C-alpha cells in the first residue's frame, strides 16, 4: 500500500471556503446526489433555522450510498466520475468543503455513519441503513442566508433526478431550444491517467431565465452568471477550476455562438446590437443564417460598409443606403459579415471605373475657392490641396477627400471630411461653373499639389475620408482677405 505524502489542515480548508456563498457549498451535496442517477431518483433539501446565527441543512437522496466510506473524509481520491463526461464530479471535494466550514456534521450512508463533532476529528459507527445517503451540517449562517439559500436552490434545474426544498418540488423546465454542439470537456481515459481536455458532441438546452439573472448550467447546476438573455444548460462536464464557479472566455464565447445559432430567428431586433451577439459573430462556428439575421436586424436591408472610394460612399448614401463606418464593427466582425452575412462595401455596389480626366485652366474664382478650402481644412486639422479637372461623368461638382494629420488608431469617422465636403460642393458649383460646366473641384489629400487619377484604383482615395474627435459647429471663416469668399446655397 502506498504511503500518503500529505496531511490536510481542516482549519486551512475552512479558511479557503468560509467566505463562499452558502448555496455554492450546498450545491456540491446536491450534485453528489444527482450523480447517483439513475439509481437515485430524488434529492431532498431541508433548511432549518437553529437560532439567529445558525442553520441546519440536510440533504438526502435515495441512491446506492458511498462506494467507499473513506471518501467521506478523503480529498481528491480517485473516482470513476472522472471517466464519465455525463457526471458532474471530478475533484472529490464537495462534502469535505462544507464539512470544513460546518460547526458540526454527520454523513449517514449504507452501513456507516460518520460524525464530525464541533471540537474536531471524526467518529465512525455502523448503522442499519440499506439505501441512500443523508448529509447533515450545522452552518454559521443566519436568517438572511436561509432565504437566499432557498431562492438560489430554486434556480436549479432537475432533469433525471427530482429536487425538493423544504418539501416543495423544484419544477422541471422545458427548453426553448435544444442543439447538438461540440464543446470542450474533461475526461479521464483510464484509472491512474490524467484528465485531458477533449472536444465532444453534447446537447445544449436554451431556457427562459429564472428572475433577472442568466446562468450557464452544468447538467442542471448553475455555475456562472452571464449577460445572455437565456439560461444555458450544457449536458456534459464543463471545464472549470475546483471551486466550479467560472468558465474560460473562449468556452463562454463558444456557448454564446451556439445560443445565437439556435435563437436568432426568435430574438427581438434590439438584441442584435448587444455585446454577446458581437462576441458570438466573431466565433468560427457561427452559421451563415445567424449572421444574415444579425445584419438584417442591426442595419436593415440597405446597408454597405464604408469604402476608401468616397464617391461610392456618397452614391450609396444618396441611394438610401446606410454606410457603416469601420469603427462600428471589429475587423473580425466585418470579415464574418461579408463572408457569411452578405454585407458588401460601398465600393462593391456603387464603385465606378477610373474616370478620364483633363486638367482645367485656373482662374480667379477657382483660385479663391482653392485658398478657402486650404484655410478651412487647416482649421479642421487637414492638409488639403485643390486641383481642377474635367470629368465627363462627374456626379458631384465638388468633393472633398482629405487626410487628417493624426495616427490611424485615434481617428474617428468622417464627420469633419463631410462637413468640408458639403461646403466645398456648394462653392464648387460656382467655381467650376466659371469655366467648364462639367469641371469637378477635387480638394485632395496631397500637400504637393499632385492629384492622381480619381477612381477605385487610386491609392490616395483608399487613405481618405476620416475625421477627428472634435465636431465643429459650423465651417470656419477664412483668415485673410484673399480667402474672404463664403459660398452660399
Mean pLDDT, residues 350-362:
72
Identify whether the C-beta of residue 399 lies closer than 8 Å to the C-beta of residue 387. Answer: no
Dist CA 417 CA 398 (whole Å): 13
Q: Among residues 375, 308, 305, which one has the least CA distance to residue 346?
A: 305
Instruction: Please state, in angstroms and rounded to a whole number, the distance separating the CA atoms of residues 224 and 373.
Output: 57
**Pick from 423, 395, 418: which is nearest to 471 by CA?**
418
Which residue matches cell numbers 484673399?
482
With a pLDDT cut of 70, the percent of the chain lying above it is 78
**pLDDT confidence of 354, banded at 50, 70, 90?**
low
What confidence score (pLDDT) does residue 72 get?
Answer: 84
Q: Record the pTM.
A: 0.72
- Of 2 and 413, which is predicted with more confidence? 2
Looking at the predicted structure, is the pLDDT value of residue 150 above 60? yes
pLDDT of residue 393: 53
Model confidence at 436: pLDDT above 50: no
Q: Which residues, including other chains, have CB under 8 Å from residue 179's CB and lie 6 or more apart?
A: 203, 204, 206, 258, 261, 262
Nearest Cα neighbor of 287 from 213, 360, 339 is 339
Predicted pLDDT at 400? 40
CA distances (Å), origin 384, targets 400, 425, 431, 481, 485: 8, 15, 17, 20, 18
Q: What is the DSSP letter of 178?
A: E
105 contact partners, CB below 8 Å, separation of at least 6: 98, 99, 115, 116, 135, 136, 137, 138
Query: What letter would DSSP give residue 353?
Result: P
| pLDDT on residue 399 | 43
**Exposed, middle or buried, 86 (CB in 10 Å: 0-12/13-18/19+)?**
middle
Contacts of residue 483, Cβ cutoff 8 Å, sequence gap at least 6: 368, 371, 372, 375
Helix 364-379 and helix 415-433: axis angle, to 10°? 170
Task: Return the higher-pLDDT residue of 395 and 196.
Answer: 196
Please say if the pLDDT value at position 312 is more than 60.
yes
- Better-scored residue on pLDDT, 372 or 261: 261
Max mean pLDDT range (16-20, 57-61, 416-420): 57-61
Burial of residue 489 (number of CB atoms within 10 Å: 0-12, 13-18, 19+): exposed
Rounded mean pLDDT of 296-312?
92
In which band, very low, low, confident or very high, does the pLDDT at 452 lie, cut at 50, 70 and 90? very low
Q: Where are the domains of the chain?
A: 10-169, 177-247, 271-350, 357-483
Q: Among 169-173, 279-283, 298-302, 391-395, name the one with the lowest average pLDDT.
A: 391-395
- Any idea how long the chain is? 489
Region 145-174: mean pLDDT is 95
Average pLDDT of span 2-17: 85
* Better pLDDT: 258 or 414: 258
More reliable by pLDDT, 353 or 29:
29
* Average pLDDT rounded to a whole number, residues 50-69: 93
Distant-in-sequence, close-in-space partners of 403: CB < 8 Å, separation ≥ 6:
382, 383, 445, 463, 464, 466
pLDDT of 10 over the 60 cut? yes
Which CATH topology does 10-169 take?
Answer: Heat Shock Protein 90 (3.30.565)
Q: Which residue has the higher pLDDT, 175 or 385?
A: 175
Q: Which pLDDT belongs to residue 360?
A: 73
Amino acid at each position: 500500500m502506498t504511503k500518503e505524502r500529505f496531511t490536510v489542515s481542516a482549519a486551512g480548508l475552512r479558511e479557503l471556503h468560509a467566505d463562499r456563498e452558502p448555496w455554492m457549498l450546498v450545491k456540491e451535496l446536491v450534485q453528489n446526489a444527482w450523480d447517483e442517477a439513475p439509481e437515485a431518483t430524488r434529492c431532498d433539501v431541508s433548511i432549518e433555522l437553529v437560532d439567529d446565527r445558525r442553520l441546519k441543512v440536510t440533504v438526502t437522496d435515495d441512491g446506492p450510498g458511498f462506494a467507499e466510506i473513506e471518501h467521506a473524509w478523503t480529498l481528491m481520491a480517485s473516482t470513476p466520475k472522472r471517466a464519465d463526461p455525463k457526471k458532474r464530479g471530478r475533484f472529490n471535494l464537495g462534502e469535505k468543503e462544507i464539512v470544513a466550514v460546518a460547526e458540526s456534521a454527520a454523513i449517514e450512508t449504507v452501513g456507516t455513519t460518520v460524525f464530525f463533532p464541533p471540537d474536531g476529528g471524526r467518529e465512525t459507527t455502523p448503522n442499519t441503513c440499506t439505501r441512500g445517503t443523508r448529509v447533515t451540517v450545522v452552518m454559521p449562517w443566519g436568517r438572511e442566508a436561509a432565504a437566499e439559500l432557498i431562492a438560489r436552490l430554486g434556480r436549479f434545474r432537475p432533469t433525471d433526478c427530482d429536487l425538493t426544498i423544504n418539501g416543495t418540488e423544484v419544477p422541471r423546465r422545458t427548453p426553448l431550444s435544444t442543439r447538438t454542439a461540440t464543446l470542450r470537456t474533461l475526461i479521464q481515459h483510464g484509472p491512474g491517467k490524467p484528465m485531458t481536455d477533449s472536444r465532444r458532441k453534447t446537447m445544449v438546452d436554451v431556457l427562459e431565465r429564472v428572475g433577472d439573472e442568466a446562468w450557464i448550467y452544468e447538467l442542471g447546476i448553475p455555475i456562472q452568471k452571464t449577460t445572455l438573455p437565456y439560461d444555458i444548460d450544457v449536458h456534459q462536464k464543463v471545464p472549470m477550476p475546483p471551486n466550479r464557479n467560472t468558465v474560460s472566455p473562449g468556452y463562454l464565447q463558444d456557448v454564446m455562438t451556439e445560443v445565437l445559432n439556435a435563437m436568432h430567428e426568435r430574438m427581438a431586433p434590439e438584441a442584435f446590437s448587444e455585446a454577446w451577439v458581437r462576441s458570438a459573430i466573431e466565433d468560427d462556428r457561427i452559421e451563415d443564417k445567424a449572421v444574415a439575421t444579425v445584419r438584417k436586424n442591426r442595419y436593415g436591408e440597405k446597408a454597405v460598409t464604408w469604402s476608401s472610394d468616397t464617391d461610392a460612399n456618397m452614391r450609396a448614401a444618396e441611394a438610401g443606403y446606410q454606410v457603416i463606418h469601420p469603427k462600428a464593427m471589429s475587423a473580425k466582425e466585418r470579415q464574418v459579415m461579408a463572408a457569411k452575412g452578405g454585407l458588401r462595401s460601398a465600393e462593391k455596389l456603387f464603385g465606378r471605373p477610373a474616370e478620364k480626366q483633363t486638367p482645367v485652366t485656373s482662374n480667379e474664382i477657382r483660385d479663391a475657392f482653392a485658398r478657402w478650402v486650404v484655410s478651412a481644412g487647416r482649421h479642421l486639422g487637414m492638409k488639403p490641396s485643390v486641383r481642377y479637372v474635367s470629368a465627363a461623368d462627374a456626379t458631384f461638382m465638388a468633393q472633398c477627400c482629405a487626410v487628417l494629420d493624426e495616427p490611424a488608431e485615434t481617428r474617428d469617422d468622417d464627420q469633419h471630411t463631410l462637413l468640408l465636403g458639403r461646403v466645398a460642393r456648394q462653392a464648387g458649383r460656382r467655381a467650376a461653373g466659371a469655366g467648364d460646366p462639367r469641371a469637378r473641384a477635387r480638394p485632395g489629400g496631397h500637400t504637393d499639389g499632385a492629384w492622381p487619377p480619381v477612381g477605385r484604383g487610386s491609392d490616395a482615395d483608399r487613405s481618405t475620408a476620416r475625421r477627428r474627435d472634435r465636431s465643429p459647429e459650423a465651417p470656419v471663416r477664412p483668415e485673410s482677405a484673399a480667402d474672404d469668399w463664403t459660398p452660399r446655397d
